Amino acid sequence: MKESIREFALSLGVDDVGFAAVADYNSPRSPKIETISRDIKSIIVLAYKELSSCDSEDKDTAMAGRQAVMEFSRTANYRVARFLESKYKGKAFTVPNSNPFAMVKETGGAVGQVSLRHAAQAAGLGVFGRHNLIIHPRFGTRVNFSAVLSDLDLSSDPQLTDELCTYCDICVEECPAGALDEEGKTVVNECFKSCQPYGLGANINFWRKALAASPEDQKRMIASVDYWRLYPSILVGNQYYCFNCMSKCPIGTEI
């Protein structure tokens, strides 16, 4: 069954596929998988090579490449989920590339329902590096993930044991926010502010400030270029303007 699912996902254009039994998924800060459904037994993780556009100095172009990955990953999730339902009469739950994440105070909205990095590691698709990202054996750090949860009994693929990170520290040096200075930790707020200066969060902050401002200042704020730059966030949401820890990583750039 695993091979037929893998073959189907690869035939769609997904770059790699891994399987993890729920028992092998261990993400201490994420909600338990049974909070999604008690029926879930396995996680099918789909990997997508990040496009070379992530190297572009034009951050709108870099983000457009990411959006292409995100949009395709939603389609791939749906197709794989329907394949499981129609061919194996299984139940399927899709985990997209980014949200949903619970918008609760305890986590600041920075914990997804399923940690795709921990799922990818459990499914043998890579290992954590110094940048706290997953390094894939072929694509290096330039990889994104989505997943489909299912009630099918699928065994885990072998986990990788090789160290893939060279600890060159380029990711640490190239992080404009200093968010990776402490090993094993990403300073979420600093990364967030720096990588999404015109994201939905910035948009909300703009309006929070505008509401508290004088009518004069409100007029000035709405006429500012900063306000115009927030426009796309309404469509794009999490609009990334920094890809450094991913794009500057020398591992896997040749593919």
Least Å distance between CB 87 and ligand B12?
25
Alpha carbon distances (Å) from 163 to 47, 56, 125, 138, 201 = 19, 29, 13, 13, 36
Q: Which of 116, 149, 160, 249 binds ligand B12 (CB under 6 A)?
A: 116
Distance from C-alpha of 156 to C-alpha of 174, rounded to nearest angstrom: 35
| DSSP H/E element including 81 | helix 59-88
Binders in 169-208 for ligand B12, by CB under 6 A: 184-186, 188, 191-192, 195
Least Å distance between CB 180 and ligand B12?
6
**Which residue lies nearer to ligand B12 by CB, 132 or 221?**
132
Distance from C-alpha of 227 to C-alpha of 85, rounded to nearest angstrom: 45
- Which stretch, 79-87, 140-148, 216-224, 228-236, contacts ligand B12 (CB under 6 A)? 140-148
**Which residue lies nearer to ligand B12 by CB, 56 or 132?**
132
Place of tokens 């706290």: 132
200-212 and 215-222 helices cross at what angle (nearest 10)?
150
Distance from C-alpha of 189 to C-alpha of 239, rounded to nearest angstrom: 15
- Which stretch, 32-40, 76-84, 128-136, 228-236, contacts ligand B12 (CB under 6 A)? 128-136
Strands (E), the chain: 16-21, 42-49, 92-95, 127-128, 134-135, 143-150
Taking residues 12 to 41 in sequence order and writing x for each that binds ligand B12 by CB under 6 A, - otherwise, the string is: ---------------x-xx-----------
Interaction between residue 97 and ligand B12 (CB under 6 A): yes
Q: Which residue is nearest to ligand B12 (CB)?
A: 112
Q: Which of 6, 49, 131, 248 binds ligand B12 (CB under 6 A)?
A: 131
Question: What's the one-letter identity of residue 10?
Answer: L
172, 143 contact by CB (below 8 A)? no
Q: Which of 117, 122, 236, 249 binds ligand B12 (CB under 6 A)?
A: 117
**Which residue lies nearer to ligand B12 by CB, 67 or 132?**
132
Collapse the DSSP code of 12 into the 3-class scheme (helix H, G, I; strand E, B; otherwise coil) and give the result: helix
Site residues for ligand B12 per CB under 6 A: 27, 29-30, 97-98, 101, 110-112, 114-117, 128, 131-134, 141, 143-145, 184-186, 188, 191-192, 195, 240, 242-243, 245-246
